[in-house]
């Protein structure tokens, strides 16, 4: 996936290349600010950030039934001088067993994304409950209502360690204009990346780099 022409893009709502579908859903822009912890927490400029998340039905492109040939809701952006990247997308669903989230991987530069083993950090951004509840009350997200009701950040198998304290996004906006999420993420280049892929049981799970 990361070697395909077209993967570097800010608007990830539609597939590119052989895919042709556009994912429907509530408008959602999300941004990551990447800090270099090995350099005193300075902004990590020119790093490549690969982000991906599930669609309104809780399935991942490339993996979900009927969307194996689509690659929407996936993309790469290069951080600016403030260490920030931004993606235009749709709000992800809540599928069974997982708190609503966006996956991301950080690579040292554009050239390094051709090999998933080059990722220097792999993590997820959690979305606030009150925002999710607003979105899931709209048409198309009905199945997310029951899934979210049976979960908590504390019980999630990724965010449960700290209740999402370090991975919970700040979200602004509304249903009319859409929502904007932001997360500051420190990257320690001396740490071996762990986690970040959709866990077993996710509908159409999307592994890191996939």
What CATH number should be reported for the domain holding residue 64?
Answer: 2.60.130.10
Is the residue at 200 inside a domain? no
**Residues 42, 25 contacting (CB under 8 angstroms):** no
Domain count, the chain: 1
Mind giving me the DSSP string for 40-100? TTEE-TT-EEEEE---TTS--TTTSTT-TT---SEEEEE--TTSEEEEEEE-----TTS-S
pLDDT of residue 190: 63
Cα 74 vs. chain centroid, distance in angstroms?
8
Has residue 129 been placed in a domain? yes
pLDDT tens figures, 41-91 = 999 999 999 999 999 999 999 999 999 999 999 999 999 999 999 999 999
Residue 2: inside a domain, yes or no? no
Give the whole-angstrom CA distance, residue 116 versus residue 2. 8
- pLDDT reported for residue 159: 95
Q: For residue 93, give every residue at least 6 positions away whose Cβ sits within 8 Å of its Cβ, in sequence order, or none.
A: 54, 55, 56, 57, 58, 100, 136, 141, 143, 144, 147
Q: Kindly give the parts of the chain with pLDDT less than 70.
A: 189-210
Q: What pLDDT does residue 188 have? A: 83
Q: Indicate whether 196 belongs to any domain.
A: no
Predicted pLDDT at 164 = 86
Residue 59 included in any domain = yes
Does residue 19 sit within a domain? no
Is residue 177 in some structural domain? yes
CA geometry: angle 10, 16, 22, nearest 5 deg: 80
Residue-range definition of the domain harbouring residue 76? 27-187
Strands 121-126 and 84-90: unpaired
189-199: per-residue pLDDT in tens? 666 544 333 33
Task: Write out the two tokens for 184.
Answer: 């500051």
- Is 86 contained in some domain? yes
pLDDT of residue 201: 35
- Give pLDDT, residue 5: 84
How much is the pLDDT for 205? 44
């Amino acid at each position: 996936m990361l070697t395909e022409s077209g993967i570097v893009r800010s608007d990830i709502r539609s597939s590119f290349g052989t895919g042709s579908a556009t994912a429907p859903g509530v408008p959602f822009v999300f941004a990551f600010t990447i800090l270099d912890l090995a350099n005193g927490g300075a902004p990590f400029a020119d790093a490549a950030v690969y982000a991906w998340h599930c669609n309104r039905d809780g399935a991942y492109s490339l993996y979900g039934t009927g969307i194996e040939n689509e690659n929407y809701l996936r993309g790469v952006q290069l951080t600016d001088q403030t260490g920030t990247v931004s993606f235009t997308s749709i709000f992800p669903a809540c599928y069974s067993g997982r708190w609503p989230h966006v996956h991301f991987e950080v690579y040292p530069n554009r050239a390094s994304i051709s090999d998933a083993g080059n990722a220097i950090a792999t993590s997820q951004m959690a979305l606030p409950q009150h925002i999710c509840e607003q979105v899931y009350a709209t048409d198309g997200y009905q199945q997310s209502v029951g899934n979210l009701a049976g979960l908590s950040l504390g019980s999630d198998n990724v965010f449960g360690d700290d209740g999402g304290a370090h991975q919970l996004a700040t979200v602004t906006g509304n249903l009319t204009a859409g929502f904007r999420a932001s997360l500051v993420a420190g990257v320690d280049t001396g740490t071996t990346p762990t986690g970040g892929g959709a866990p077993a049981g996710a509908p159409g799970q999307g592994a890191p780099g996939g």
